[in-house]
Chain A
Amino acid sequence: MSAGSATEVGATTAAAPATAATAATTARFDPYASATDVPRRRFLHHLNPLATVLGPLPAMVLLLFTRSIPQPLAFLALAVLLLLVGAAVAPRRALGLAVAGIAMVALLTASFGFWADPRHAAGTTVLLWIGDYRLLEGSLLTGLATALRLTAVVALTLIGGLTSSGVDLVRALVQHARLPYRIGYTALAAFRFVPRFRYELDVIRAAHRVRGMTGGRGPIAAVRRQFSYVIPLLAGAIRHAERVAHAMDSRAFGAFRTRTERHRIPFRARDVVFIALFWLATAAILLLL
């Protein structure tokens, strides 16, 4: 698999005594980190991840069926407002997201307006003539509606995505949504496998190099080399997974119907309130706009 992306995913390695792995993956991103040091007024971080996912869910589904411009705009404003007030996002990241969002609306408006069938927008003002091609105002408005709709959906997902981790979501699913804990803990173990791939890739590269399997120079050889890593990488990773599974089995993982949790993800009254308010706002936007 792609080598470049694995480098970005440095995390604390598994308890395996592989010192090379520990050296290769410095803890830049810890998927198990909890957001306990976030100030209280950034309330989104202190909600159950299920609430930040379930709250915006109806809005996201309903947005797919809207064709108007005001409704996605209202949902976009709601999401941005909630994120500004309730999410602790570093200023640079917030700026990046804002720029990306505006660029996304502009780009999608242009491209969807460009590709749209002009017959649907017949009778509206012609904005642009390029040879045989005519860009109509109606096409551009259709594009804008699509762009706002998709951007609003992304903004709504960020309410959960920026304020809680996948690990906490899995924990919440196990504790409150009856996800079988063996599945849940499989997912938790999966987060640990990410840095493991980096380590395996380094080993395979070294092994290939020491045997002189460079396959020549140039971009084609480079691509072929990348593909030659796929099978050994996956095979090594699967063997690692089998070892981990045997280790877990030997410690009686899954011996009981229920298990105790080290990290509780409580589902409190505030979570219910958040979901209820969000659903009310969704209904209000749909009915009023």
Chain B
Amino acid sequence: MTSTTPPTDSSSSARPAAGGDSAPAPAPAAGPASTSPHAARRSRGRVTTVYLLTCAVIGVAGGILLIPANWVSTVLFATAPFASAVLGGLWILPAVVALRLLQRPGAGLLVGLISGLVIVPFSGYGFTSVLTNLFWAFFPEVAFLIVGYRFWTLAQHYAGAVLVGVAYPLFAWASFDLDSFPLGLQIAFVALNIASGVAATAIGLAIAAGLRRAGVARAAARRPRPRVDAGDAAAA
């Protein structure tokens, strides 16, 4: 996880807002552990609990989707290894939904982590599922990571899908033993992976658009402008 996780600082909005009960001074009475040096960090890369739990719930939804997908993919892999590539895109779907809906750094990876943890008891692959899902979730995220999360365009989502379509076969070269296959099948495998990723991205974007229309996740989504923290402004 990258810069998204200043670990323990509370956001000032998260602090019990009643005030008055413990803070005699008007200054933002920071928790005993968080003193002024952390204030700058906090306002820059703050992660709210709402953001964390929204990612968690998208991750869980993704996990519920991936439990059956995981078994179908395993059976396909065992019988016709190349057909399992068709399902590959499902593994980036939760990350795409989260990134499009929230447009916040780290949303894809966090969703990947959670969806991996959720399927651990059901996947049959143990904790490897966490690594698998993190691997897949990294690629939808990386198209935004390399621009420092400065802009969020549709093209970046699709670029991530193409990237994972190429990267997964390279990564899985060994486990599929792709060397032993004819060249035509190798190309078809990569093409299938890319197609699957692009299709899943399109579905994910549609789901995110539907959720936006429903008006959810406003609290966790990116603000149009960086929000001025009232507490920090008062302290300055």
**In chain A between 230 and 267, which residues have their CB closer than 8 angstroms to a CB of chain B?**
230-235, 237-242, 244-246, 248-250, 252-259
Q: How far apart are the CA atoms of A112 and B111 in the complex, in Å?
A: 33
Instruction: Classify the interface of chain A: helix, strand, loop or mixed.
Output: helix
Query: A65 — which chain B residues lie within 8 A by C-beta?
Result: 174
Determine which of A159, A190, A246 lies in contact with B118 in the assembled complex, contact meaning CB atoms within 8 Å: A190
Task: List the A residue with the shortest CB-CB distance to B217.
Answer: A238
Q: How far apart are the CA atoms of A245 and B56 in the complex, in Å?
A: 11
Query: B40 — which chain A residues lie within 8 A by C-beta?
Result: none
B38-65 toward A: CB 8 Å interface, digit per residue (1/0)?
A: 0000000001111011111111110111
Query: B121 — which chain A residues lie within 8 A by C-beta?
Result: 29, 31, 165-166
CB <8 Å contact, B81 and A237: no
Determine which of B32, B52, B61 lies in contact with A1 in the assembled complex, contact meaning CB atoms within 8 Å: B61
Q: How far apart are the CA atoms of A232 and B215 in the complex, in Å?
A: 11
Q: How far apart are the CA atoms of A158 and B121 in the complex, in Å?
A: 10
A248-289 toward B: CB 8 Å interface, digit per residue (1/0)?
A: 111011111111000000000000000000000000000000
CB proximity of B99 to chain A, nearest CB, Å:
14
Determine which of A9, A197, A249 lies in contact with B14 in the assembled complex, contact meaning CB atoms within 8 Å: A249
Most buried by A among B5, B59, B176, B214: B214
Size bin of chain B's contact surface? 35 or more
Q: How far apart are the CA atoms of A31 and B60 in the complex, in Å?
A: 14
CB <8 Å contact, A237 and B60: yes
CB <8 Å contact, B7 and A181: yes
Q: How far apart are the CA atoms of A120 and B126 in the complex, in Å?
A: 34
Query: B149 — which chain A residues lie within 8 A by C-beta?
Result: none
CB <8 Å contact, B211 and A186: no
Interface flag for B220 (CB, 8 Å): yes
CB <8 Å contact, B126 and A187: no
A156-175 toward B: CB 8 Å interface, digit per residue (1/0)?
A: 01111110011001100000
Determine which of B15, B59, B117 lies in contact with A166 in the assembled complex, contact meaning CB atoms within 8 Å: B117
Interface flag for A82 (CB, 8 Å): no
**In chain B between 47 and 93, which residues have their CB closer than 8 angstroms to a CB of chain A?**
47-50, 52-61, 63-65, 67-68, 78-82
Q: How far apart are the CA atoms of A142 and B178 in the complex, in Å?
A: 11
Query: B47 — which chain A residues lie within 8 A by C-beta?
Result: 182
Determine which of B7, B31, B113, B122 lies in contact with A187 in the assembled complex, contact meaning CB atoms within 8 Å: B113
CB proximity of B38 to chain A, nearest CB, Å:
9
CB <8 Å contact, A230 and B118: no
Most buried by A among B122, B174, B185: B174
Interface flag for A5 (CB, 8 Å): yes
Q: How far apart are the CA atoms of A166 and B28 in the complex, in Å?
A: 38
Interface flag for A194 (CB, 8 Å): yes
Known: A166-B117, A169-B127. A242 touches B79 (CB 8 A): no
CB <8 Å contact, B79 and A190: no
Interface flag for A76 (CB, 8 Å): no
Number of residues on chain A facing chain B (CB within 8 A) = 80
Interface flag for A204 (CB, 8 Å): no
Task: List the B residue with the shortest CB-CB distance to A97.
Answer: B124
**In chain B between 143 and 182, which residues have their CB closer than 8 angstroms to a CB of chain A?**
174-177, 179-182
Known: A180-B8, A193-B57, A237-B57. A1 touches B64 (CB 8 A): yes
Determine which of A153, A183, A253 lies in contact with B1 in the assembled complex, contact meaning CB atoms within 8 Å: A183
Q: Which of A15-23, A40-48, A103-111, A205-213 forms contacts with chain B?
A: A103-111
**13 chain-A/chain-B pairs, Cβ below 8 angstroms:** A1-B64, A2-B68, A6-B64, A9-B122, A116-B180, A139-B180, A157-B125, A183-B113, A191-B117, A193-B60, A231-B211, A242-B53, A252-B10
Interface residues of A (CB under 8 A from B): 1-2, 4-6, 8-9, 29, 31, 49, 53, 60, 64-65, 67, 104, 107-108, 111-112, 115-117, 120, 139, 142, 145-146, 149-150, 153-154, 157-162, 165-166, 169-170, 180-183, 186-187, 189-191, 193-194, 197, 230-235, 237-242, 244-246, 248-250, 252-259
Interface residues of B (CB under 8 A from A): 1, 5, 7-11, 13-16, 31-34, 47-50, 52-61, 63-65, 67-68, 78-82, 97, 110, 113-114, 117-118, 120-122, 124-128, 174-177, 179-182, 185, 207, 210-211, 214, 216-217, 219-220
User: Could you list 9 further interchain pairs (A-B, Cβ under 8 angstroms) beyond the known A157-B126, A245-B48?
Assistant: A9-B122, A111-B81, A116-B177, A169-B117, A183-B1, A238-B217, A242-B50, A242-B217, A256-B34
